[in-house]
Structure 1
Amino acid sequence: MDSQKTNSTLRTVNVVRYVMPLREGGSLPALADADDGFSYVLKFRGAGQREKALIAELLGGEIARLLGLKVPELVFANLDEAFGRSEGDEEIQDLLKGSQGLNLALHFLSKALTYDPGATIVESVLASKIVWLDTFITNVDRTYRNTNMLLWNRELWLIDHGASFLFHHSWDNWEKQAISSFPLIKDHVLLPYANDLKAVSEEFVAIITDEKIEEIVAMIPDEWILASRDVETAEEGKEVYASFLKMRLKNFEVFIKGAEDAREALI
């Protein structure tokens, strides 16, 4: 369930059954069933970095999809007020209570395998595309320790972009971060294979237009932006996200040179 172009909005489903926690992540995502008949990996607004992680997941996933990378379908997942009252685990019950309303979920890829860099080599162009994406959105979480990629139907799928967009944890310096390189790219699991960054840049800069950026940013629910109280209005918050991405794109040579330098240091 993927697409190579973004939607103007995401589908909304209602969670009908909490199946089990997925304890690989620190924010306790869960496998859940929804009223559309599908299973999802549910990301909770009441966990960890709260709504900011959901915003990063939404933006990162839809930008990846726009660029033609494989990402499970993202949906808004509504959690009813009564949901989880019968849950026996107190920690999970508190999480469910704190996540009532609109959450985010990824279509569950049944029988997918975690990408193992020791077992599967990713070809250069695809590796370069993923590294480009992650340095563009400042994603710290695609390392050897936690690759956040799955092999499903012999294809590489990207998951979990909630640790992207570092600037929104400190809004006062977003302009500086927008035009800076991303030193943490040195830890990227695919960086050793990414020797086509310049060619990928030409392709991706042509795809990511200002209009596409605004379309993706517009998907963010107002309530998620307002929850952190970093900005006065949701419109102001969306303007910052859009401006960050536009500025970063205009200065792509800076972060691509940083990634190329980091790669040369590795090899």
Structure 2
Amino acid sequence: MSNTNSLYSPRQVNVTRYVMPLREGGSLPALAEADDGFNYVLKFKGAGQREKALIAEVIGGELARRVGFKVPEIVFANLDSAFGNSEGDEEIQDLLKSSQGLNLALHFLSKAMTFDPGASKVDEYLASQIVWFDAWITNVDRTFRNTNLLIWNRELWLIDHGASLVFHHSWDNWEKHALSPFAMVQDHVLLPRASELDRVDAEMKSLITHEVIDQVLELVPDEWILASRDTETAQEAREVYDSFLKMRLAHSHVFLIQANDARKALI
């Protein structure tokens, strides 16, 4: 894997049409059209985990992109204050009203198929890279029940990183979280194929430089960070995210041991 798209920065689009809800998502994401003519999977800041899910989506998705994983383009999607007034479904209308302003969207991969571990096999090295990466960012949502992997143009694409960075929902004891193993790795859909975890550890740590982490954290809008009022300034919060990711990276052996032990229990 190569370190790609190092200068990538999300575009901003205006949502012009709400096409339909995507009911498979617990936070009611939607298929929407934007003023650039493309369709997007729209994630709302007014949904369940609010801005925290969008922050995790940007950080997780853009870190994945920078180490070479296939990730749909992430854009910042603006919802006008009048958008959704004609929506008949009250739940959706409330969601749209509470999400006015800046939201997040991923480019819609038309005709993509949900990854089925029973029908498709992933290369063991790639599987190991993805398992390692998800253990690093504490992504709890890449399971057999909900793989958050797509097959598009015969390639594996990673989606939905909004359930990553679990520590930021409580914010306290982030140092403890940074140095903790990742027990949920036992449920990872690709763990049975992840036979090269020790080999990928050094490579992933060489790709994920401090500069890469710093670049990605600068992409997160201040308004999303400040919405939760965890810190007085956005920069204070960025410093915590920065320290968490770098500390966890430096102590990758902690979650690596957990992942290897979980895999041994499976096989």
TM class by shorter chain equals over 0.9
Aligned to 2:82: 82
Equivalence for 2:18: 18
5+ residue gaps in structure 2? none
Kindly indicate whether the alpha-carbon contact (under 8 Å) linking 1:150 and 1:157 is maintained by their aligned counterparts in 2: yes
* 2:138 counterpart letter in structure 1: T
Moved over 4 A (4+): none
| Cα distance between partner residues in 1 of 2:118 and 2:8 | 38
Would you say 1:91 and 2:88 are equivalent positions? no
CA distance, structure 1, for counterparts of residue 4 and residue 73 of structure 2: 11
Give, in angstroms, the shift of residue 121 of structure 1: 1.2
Q: Could you tell me which residue of structure 1 aligns to residue 5 of structure 2?
A: 5
Offset of residue 199 of structure 1: 1.5
One-letter code aligned to 2:190: L
CA shift at 1:220, angstroms? Answer: 0.7
**TM-aligned CA distance change 1:42 to 1:154, over 3 Å:** same
Output aligned runs, 1:1-267, within 5 Å: 4-7=4-7, 9-267=9-267
Deviates more, 1:8-17 or 1:77-86: 8-17
Alpha-carbon contact 1:167-1:174 (below 8 Å) kept: yes
Bigger mean CA deviation after superposition, 215-224 or 7-16: 7-16
SS at match of 1:23: coil
SS at match of 2:172: helix
| C-alpha distance after superposition, 1:193-252 (max 9, x if no partner) | 001111111111111111111110111101101111111111101111111001011001
SS in 2 for 1:18: strand
Q: TM-score of the superposition, structure 1-length normalised?
A: 0.97
Please tell me whether the aligned partners of residues 8 and 215 of structure 1 are also in contact (alpha carbons under 8 angstroms).
Answer: no
DSSP 3-state at the match of 2:173: helix
Q: Offset at 1:8?
A: 5.2
Give the letter aligned to residue 13 of structure 1. Answer: V
Summarize deviations over 1:97-135 as a string: whole Å, max 9, x none: 000110000000000011111111111011001101100
User: Gapped runs of 5+ residues in structure 1?
Assistant: none
Bigger drift between 7-16 and 178-187 goes to: 7-16
Structure 1 CA distance, aligned partners of 2:44 and 2:119?
32
Aligned to 1:77, the other structure's residue is in SS state: strand
Q: Amino acid of the residue matched to residue 102 of structure 1?
A: L
The answer to whether the 8 A contact 1:79-1:101 is kept is: yes
SS at match of 1:172: coil
Distance, in Å, in 2 between the alignment partners of 1:117 and 1:141 is: 15
Indicate if the aligned counterparts of 1:8 and 1:219 stay in contact, CA closer than 8 A: no
- The CA distance in 1 between the partners of 2:224 and 2:126, in whole Å, is 32
% same residue: 70
TM-superposed deviation, 1:179: 1.1
Shift of 1:6: 3.8
Q: Distance in 2 between matches of 1:65 and 1:108?
A: 16
One-letter identity of the residue aligned with 1:259: A
For residue 76 of structure 1, what is the amino acid of its counterpart?
Answer: F
For 2:209, give the aligned amino acid.
T
Distance across 1 between alignment mates of 2:81 and 2:198: 49
Contact 1:84 1:93 in 2 (8 A): yes
